[in-house]
A and B are shown apart, each in its own frame.
Chain A
């Protein structure tokens, strides 16, 4: 049995929705032990977002929660109660990492105070994920994934376009700001653990979700410092084809950014006469005249099948991609051959397919140890078994809703 990369690292995680849960999941998947703390009344808000089997809400069957919390232990704990804080401190004493995404305005009330926790465990790395960071005029601003995607500058670059400039900047599906803050938190947390190898001390790590998004704006951000220009989603793209086109059974995304790619695609289309027009002679011309070129391309492509066109064009070294649906992804031969989807059985939902390993390690691969926890599933194992709390004391804690 191959050893796990993060074997021996103990993590306590708390918060809601995506960013902290994803950071902890990344580490759990590579072998860290993660104890996820949820509030006794209702637990993680991710339990209330779904998707659900049959579209019927159920706190133990939310797809978002199940994906984000695979490979973790789950306990309930009310951090606002003294008895809860006491248990929390006992968990922290033995932990290497605490990761959370509670709002900066809530941290003090939940005992998420590094100065206090450092005294209990000087080797603790505490990672706080906040929408706008822990300092600055906007640090207390409230946020959702939508407002962060806009505050970080990504939304302004998307949507609209010729004929639809009056439509708003467009959000991407799901919880992308949460995922980006989460992966950054994973990197920074491991960084702090490396720092600890030399110093033997923990520290407080701060992640600003807004800044994480600011860091992924491709070449667009620098147009202002370098050229005084504002970049937005409006206007034509300089190079074409680099766009969506509709087939008879779905959509494809065609990328012909190099001249030889365009020539190969023209050949695939049977070298129609219009392709030889001067106004389509090179990629910049094709960009400038896309409104003339697009309908001609679309007219040929509408009769093609996605799968057929994809493989034919790729065999001619044209970078074309299917606009995959969820069904396409599950059925895809390449992803199946790579074993990308993992089937995970769960007591509430039964077996379901999930994205599995995000990277293949030759020595210390991803592996699956347990499905996402039911609410409070491991209370007895962790509080009783590990912390040695007696059954009667546990019953008391339960009665007072401290756990």
Chain B
């Protein structure tokens, strides 16, 4: 059985909420041992958010936490206690990577800043994910995940034609920041493999989010203006949009990438004459008459299901896809034929369908190895197996509230 890419790599994971844990999730997917440092006195907010089975909350019952912390371990430490800090430092000394996404200055104040940790292990790789980065005039400002989309310029560019700025539907800055963080850590590991040196990485989610609107920035740089919000339309393709289908809140997305696909679409919808209609014959004409064009398509899709429209268009090799809900995705035959869904048995919620790894390798068998940890599940393992504490010591620490 081929060795996992990051087998033998250990991560002391101080991250919480979404961005940081999503970063370390990628590293867990690649086989690293990710040890979350948590505390029962202030559980990670995602442990407190829904969904919960039977609508019953519980720190080990959250689908949100359980999704983004699959394959990781949980150590509880009360970092307000000096002994807990000592343990944290001992763990860092035996780790390759330290990850954190606290507000600026928190790790330093805890005595866990990079310069200190470097003394414990000279080749340590540390990454800080934060909203604003660790330098700059606004570094003390508070950044919440949902705010990154508007801050990054994405909202000013996203919205229905003639309407106000809109959001993205998820706290996009978080997973995007987390993924770029994972990539950065892998780069640092490559550098260390060649040179033996560790380093510190400062990642600002504002910056990783802003990079996602590069085309808008370039437009402004070239022309002093930015693209207007235009809903689901595209400057280079028409038709291009999301159309209502039969049933409650059912929609299908489609795009004709060129005149050929437009002509085929006309035949498909039983309107072959539209292919030579001067209102729609060229892209320029279709853009000029786009409202009419969309009304015609809407009339056709409105009596059909998204799946039927998709199948018909795809048979003609025209891009189309239903606007998938979470339920559609969970039950989708294509996705269920692949290895993306994971069904581990979790000690408190039982077997639940989770999203696994979106990459496959032909010789390395990647898989989520176990469900998300319950709070403090691996405290004894970490203290005993990794740090060499005896069972008696561990009991004593527990009694002194160091391990809560």
Contacts and interface: CB of A to CB of B under 8 A. Distances in A.
Interface of A: 3, 5-9, 26, 30, 48-55, 63-64, 66-68, 114, 132-133, 135-139, 141-144, 146-159, 164-165, 167-176, 179-180, 183-188, 190-195, 197-199, 201, 203-208, 210-212, 214-227, 229-234, 242, 244, 246, 251-253, 255, 257, 314, 317-330, 333-335, 337-338, 340, 349, 352-355, 357-364
A192 B186 CA distance: 11
B133 A232 contact: no
B334 A136 contact: yes
Contact of A224 (B142, B167, B201, B327): B327
Given A158-B166, A199-B2, A222 B66 contact: yes
B253 A150 contact: yes
B357 to A, nearest CB: 8
Given A64-B218, A216-B175, A152 B170 contact: no
A321 B151 contact: yes
Contact of A63 (B146, B158, B215): B215
Nearest to B114: A362
Contact of A219 (B50, B229, B237, B257): B50
Contacts of B251: 150, 156, 168-169
Contact of A314 (B7, B26, B141, B204): B141
Given A187-B183, A323-B165, A324-B153, A218 B207 contact: no
Interface string B195-225: 1011111111011101111111111111100
A64 B212 CA distance: 11
B30 A191 contact: yes
A297 B133 CA distance: 30
A215 B358 contact: yes
Interface residues of B, number: 154
B376 interface: no
10 contacts: A66-B218, A144-B240, A157-B170, A187-B26, A204-B361, A215-B355, A220-B326, A221-B330, A323-B155, A325-B156
B50 A227 contact: yes
A330 B210 contact: no
A363 B196 CA distance: 12
B260 interface: no
Contacts of A252: 150
Interface stretch (B51-59, B75-83, B105-113, B272-280): B51-59
A174 B229 CA distance: 11
A51 B212 CA distance: 15
A206 B253 contact: no
Contacts of B314: 138, 141-142
Contact of B63 (A225, A257, A325): A225
B217 A353 contact: yes
Given A222-B66, A244-B155, A53 B222 contact: yes
Given A191-B186, A211-B338, A324-B153, A222 B333 contact: no
Contacts of A216: 22, 170, 172, 175-176
A318 B143 CA distance: 9
B180 interface: yes
Contacts of A320: 147
Contact of A355 (B214, B229, B337): B214
Interface string B146-164: 1111111111111110001
Contact of A364 (B139, B182, B187, B328): B187
Contact of B217 (A141, A323, A326): A326
B52 A354 contact: no
B320 A147 contact: yes
A319 B144 contact: yes
B184 to A, nearest CB: 4
A170 B232 CA distance: 6
Contact of A190 (B147, B186, B202, B334): B186
Given A133-B338, A146-B240, 9 more contacts: A144-B255, A154-B168, A170-B160, A214-B340, A219-B46, A227-B51, A253-B151, A326-B213, A359-B203
A194 B359 contact: no
B325 A153 contact: yes
A287 to B, nearest CB: 14
Interface string B215-257: 1111111110011010110111100111110000101111101
A230 B328 CA distance: 9
Contacts of B143: 319, 321
A265 to B, nearest CB: 12
B190 interface: yes
Nearest to A194: B5
Contacts of A212: 358
A342 to B, nearest CB: 11
Instruction: Please give me the 9 A-B residue pairs with the lowest Cβ-Cβ distance, nearest first.
Output: A63-B218, A222-B63, A158-B169, A157-B169, A211-B358, A326-B220, A173-B157, A51-B219, A151-B321
Contacts of B319: 141-144, 146-147
B270 interface: no
Interface stretch (B84-92, B94-102, B346-354): B346-354
Contacts of B337: 135-137
B362 interface: yes
A334 B136 contact: yes
Given A151-B324, A234-B249, A363-B197, A358 B180 contact: yes
Contact of B3 (A133, A198, A229): A198
B236 to A, nearest CB: 6
A194 B50 contact: no
Contacts of B240: 144, 146
A335 B205 CA distance: 12
Nearest to B199: A363
Contacts of B149: 253
Given A205-B360, A244-B164, A251-B150, A361 B188 contact: yes
